[in-house]
Every structure is written in structure tokens, then in C-alpha cells.
């Protein structure tokens, strides 16, 4: 392998490592788990990143929050239409 290929692979790895470490810092709530995941990703390069992506991210919770957000958006839209209707009705009743 030539020098340019090694540089490119190193740059890609470093970029992925930084992105994963930022995600760990942003999403992991427990400081002990955050430190453990960070050290594992940094000192055990490829296995640590794969381990975090497989076991560290709670995909079930994410899916549950997505469902909750879509339900909340439907309720919010219904509330907006109700407010508009109630406002129009109250304005019509005030005009004699």
C-alpha cells in the first residue's frame, strides 16, 4: 500500500472515531458508561466502535420516541384546528 492510501484510511478512521465519540458524549447519560465507551472506542479501535454501535445505542427507545413524536404531532394539529374553530365561533357569537 502506498503512502496516500494509508493517509486516506487513517483519515476515514479518525473521522468515524470522532463522530462516534461525539455521539457517545451527547447521548449517553451515565458518566461511567460514557467514560467506558470512550476508552473502549479509543483503545480498542475497530472493535470498540462496532461494540458501541451494536450494544450502546438503544434502538428500541429511539423507535418508541419516534412513535410518540408522530402521535404528538397529530394531537397538536388537531388542537390547532380546534383553536381556530373555537375562535371563529366565539367571534361570531360576540357580533350581534
Report pLDDT digits (tens) over 12-60: 999 999 999 999 999 888 899 999 999 999 999 889 999 998 888 877 7
Reported as a single tens digit per residue, the pLDDT across 3-22 is 677 888 889 999 999 999 99
Nearest to 29 by CA among 63, 56, 50: 56
pTM over 0.85, yes/no: no
Go through 72-84 and write b for each residue having 16 or more CB atoms within 10 A of its CB, e for each that does not.
eeeeeeeeeeeee
pLDDT for 44 equals 92
Give 28's contacts (C-beta < 8 A, 6+ positions apart).
Answer: 34, 37, 56
How many Å apart are CA 44 and CA 24, to the nearest integer?
A: 15
Is 31 in a helix, a strand, or coil? Answer: helix
Owner of C-alpha cell 470512550: 38
Is 36 in a helix, a strand, or coil? Answer: helix
Amino acid at each position: 500500500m502506498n503512502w496516500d492510501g494509508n493517509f486516506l484510511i487513517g483519515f476515514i478512521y479518525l473521522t468515524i472515531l470522532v463522530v462516534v465519540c461525539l455521539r457517545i458524549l451527547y447521548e449517553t447519560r451515565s458518566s461511567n458508561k460514557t467514560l467506558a465507551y470512550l476508552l473502549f472506542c479509543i483503545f480498542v479501535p475497530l472493535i470498540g466502535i462496532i461494540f458501541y454501535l451494536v450494544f450502546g445505542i438503544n434502538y428500541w427507545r429511539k423507535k418508541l420516541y419516534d412513535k410518540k413524536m408522530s402521535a404528538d404531532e397529530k394531537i397538536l394539529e388537531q388542537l390547532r384546528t380546534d383553536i381556530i374553530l373555537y375562535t371563529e365561533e366565539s367571534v361570531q357569537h360576540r357580533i350581534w
